Structure 1
Amino acid sequence: MQIEVLNSQSTDIDIIFGFYDLAIAHQKKVFNKHWQGFSRELVQTEIAENRQYKILVNGEVACVFAVTFNDALIWGDRDHDSIYIHRIVTHPDFRGYAFVKEIIKWARQYCLDNDLKYIRMDTWADNEKLLDYYTSCGFEYVGVVTMQETDGLPKHYEGISLSLFEIVV
């Protein structure tokens, strides 16, 4: 089995939004909150800035995720020297492949190559299943933040509390 982490291309945008639709449907089944969609402009910008990624398994898109390098609205004063991972979506046919661990390996190397100190992510504070999963993958739980300012963030960030996770590289 060959696993590759590659930058998404503009031709991948429909695949990415298909993955988001699958994720939202899954979130509605297993949790009391769900993403409320994303703008094409956001994803097009991420692709243009090489911040949208896909994981291929034997040449087939199995997972997508996005990164950013500043997340001040979520991380506040701790927003520095970091890669922030967002919107990890695994296609249902590839669940169980531990793509978060693959993303961590990729992000660790990215941090080493780019002099960054932290791999960080967030999720809903009350999603116990994901909290346990992320810590089992090697993330350290570093606290909760309640969102006050959400301008520029996707709609699902409004009025929520987030659990924060990081790995020190």
Structure 2
Amino acid sequence: MRFKLDEEVYEIKKAKNSDLKKILDLLVNAAAWLKTKRTKQWSYYLTDLDGNLEEILHSIENGATYLVEKEGRPISTLTLENIPSVWDLDLWGENVHDDVVYLHRLVVHRNHAGKGIGAALLDWVEKEAKEAGKKSIRFDCIANNEGLNTYYQRRYPLKEVAHIHGRHNKYEIIL
């Protein structure tokens, strides 16, 4: 799967176990940048990366994690889970539907930020979810991450704020 932005070609592929280091590097890069923005979102990738490996590997092995590359170099990753995680159940409740997909860990390396890659990936996620027969896409963001929440709210309305493990803004894209 490919997409083009400003004459640049990007490839989206399902991640393999051999891509784990690339994905971890992207997550650490994002967490380090977020720390400079005074948000604790994903700070656990800086303080306890090993403690989060199982969840990431599980998503890769289930075919839910994607890696985006440009000229063979990793520039982005995202995860689309068809089955809600424990986190999703805490945040969204036990009302589980087969027609919902959960978006996690959408990251664009800071060297590629501001080029429209995130928006192109959100468009791709919507297209993929529709083609898979999904009715909605759910995702969240820590409430104090003003930049990311502003970014999301340019496209999607805030569904609600959850007071679980801190404050998290919930978004749901109805397809």
Count of aligned pairs between the two proteins? 157
| Superposed counterparts of 1:29-40, under 5 Å | 29-35=36-42, 36-37=44-45, 38=49, 39-40=52-53
CA contact (8 A) 2:138 2:170 kept: yes
Q: Distance in 1 between matches of 2:41 and 2:137?
A: 24
Q: Distance in 2 between matches of 1:78 and 1:97?
A: 37
What is the CA distance between 1:29 and its match in structure 2? 0.6
Q: Distance in 1 between matches of 2:96 and 2:115?
A: 30
The partner residue of 2:121 within 100, 103, 106 is 103
* Percent pairwise identity: 24
The partner residue of 1:119 within 115, 134, 137 is 137
| Superposed counterparts of 1:52-67, under 5 Å | 52-67=65-80
CA contact (8 A) 2:30 2:110 kept: no
- Gaps of at least 5 residues in structure 1 are 148-158
What is the CA distance between 1:163 and its match in structure 2? 0.3
Q: Distance in 1 between matches of 2:103 and 2:117?
A: 12
- Equivalent position of 2:159 in the other structure: 142
TM-score, with structure 1 as normaliser: 0.84
What is the CA distance between 1:43 and its match in structure 2? 1.5
- Equivalent position of 1:165 in the other structure: 171
What is the CA distance between 1:77 and its match in structure 2? 5.3
TM-score, with structure 2 as normaliser: 0.81
- Equivalent position of 2:15 in the other structure: 8
Q: Distance in 2 between matches of 1:146 and 1:100?
A: 27
* Bigger mean CA offset, 124-133 vs 71-80: 71-80
What is the CA distance between 1:55 and its match in structure 2? 1.4
- RMSD over aligned CA atoms reads 1.7
- Gaps of at least 5 residues in structure 2 are 1-7
Amino acid across the alignment from 2:68 = I
- Equivalent position of 1:68 in the other structure: 81
